[in-house]
Amino acid sequence: MFSLNKGEGPRLLITGGNHGNELEGPLVARRIIEWLPKAQTCGNVIVLPVLNPLALQAWSRNTPLDGLNLNRVFPGRADGSVTERIADAVSRVLLPMADTIFDLHSFGPTWKCPPAATTHPIADPDLMANTVRMAEAFKLPLTLLWQHNDTAGMFDIVVQDQGKIFVCAEFGGGSVGADNLAIYEAGVRNALIALGLLGGKAEYPTFREQKSGQTLETDPSDEVKSPATGIFEPRCSVLDEVKQGDVIGVLHPLESLTAESVAIRAPSTSIVIGIASAAHVEINKAVAVVARPVKK
């Protein structure tokens, strides 16, 4: 763990390795530790590159010892299993030392998604507005308001219950190469500048030949599911705009080699924010996620 106190100012906690098979966050966190001591001008920054070292060592989403997903057991239990104890230590020891939390995730090798700063919808409108503003300060290609139905026990919830700001960074596209790791790192640096912890000018990094960002929202109805088990062939790319009914991919069934391939169509006029790449998929599992501009 890295901690640097330069007196009065914002108090930030950066965490990676919440899920042990998402290696980009730990790498970006370590890179920040390399340059932060020279760059930080005030405040207190704590960086914990690997929240769940047991899962990371096993290259596994969940902790092998107890099979638990760290991001579903918050706030944890001091007398619980190892995963619950990690959550408890984070909640009781680290959280009181910070007012803003960045948790660095990634999307895994068989999905493409753009670099994104995400939040779930929050009941408190002021906290929601401040959280979206913080997420947009990453200046990543996508700021995403992500409504899903499986948030009990997430790190977000315990942070937001204390009225603090939580931003989750995501990125997918194989495992992430050097060029895209640099985009991810630039997003975190932009957010540090916005918080006033660093000097310098925040700038949109170049992604798919553009330097820009947009704020979108998605809910469970925006998940496009596979009609059969088979191989998914993507026919569009992330950030593509699609019209309702456009073919976004083709599912080639595997049960029978003579089964007809099935076109998979966009459920609405929307923007593709995640798409499975040439990959095996199970019936009823998501092959794409679309999103729409936030309704004001």
Residues lying near a copy of itself in the complex (CB under 8 A): 23-24, 26-27, 30, 50, 53, 56-57, 59, 106, 109-110, 112, 173-179, 181, 209, 231, 233-238, 249, 252, 254, 257, 261, 275-280
Check: CB of residue 226 under 8 Å from CB of residue 264: yes
Check: CB of residue 179 under 8 Å from CB of residue 96: no
* Residue number, 110 or 214, with CB nearest to a copy of itself: 110
* Residue number, 172 or 213, with CB nearest to a copy of itself: 172
Shortest distance, CB of residue 204 to a copy of itself, whole angstroms? Answer: 18
Shortest distance, CB of residue 19 to a copy of itself, whole angstroms? Answer: 13
Q: Which helix (H) or strand (E) holds 4?
A: strand 2-6
Shortest distance, CB of residue 146 to a copy of itself, whole angstroms? Answer: 21
Shortest distance, CB of residue 35 to a copy of itself, whole angstroms? Answer: 14
Shortest distance, CB of residue 238 to a copy of itself, whole angstroms? Answer: 8
Q: Is the peptide bond before 75 cis (omega within 30 degrees of 0)?
A: yes
* Residue number, 60 or 214, with CB nearest to a copy of itself: 60
* Residue number, 66 or 233, with CB nearest to a copy of itself: 233
Amino acid at site 115: P
Shortest distance, CB of residue 95 to a copy of itself, whole angstroms? Answer: 22
What are residue 216's phi and psi, to 5 degrees? Answer: -125, 165
- How many helices (H) does the chain have, and how many strands (E)? 6, 16
* Residue number, 21 or 147, with CB nearest to a copy of itself: 21
User: How far apart, in whole angstroms, are the C-alpha atoms of residue 82 and residue 58?
Assistant: 15
DSSP-derived pairing of the beta strands 43-48 and 11-16:
parallel
* Residue number, 64 or 174, with CB nearest to a copy of itself: 174
Tokens for 99? 């007012």
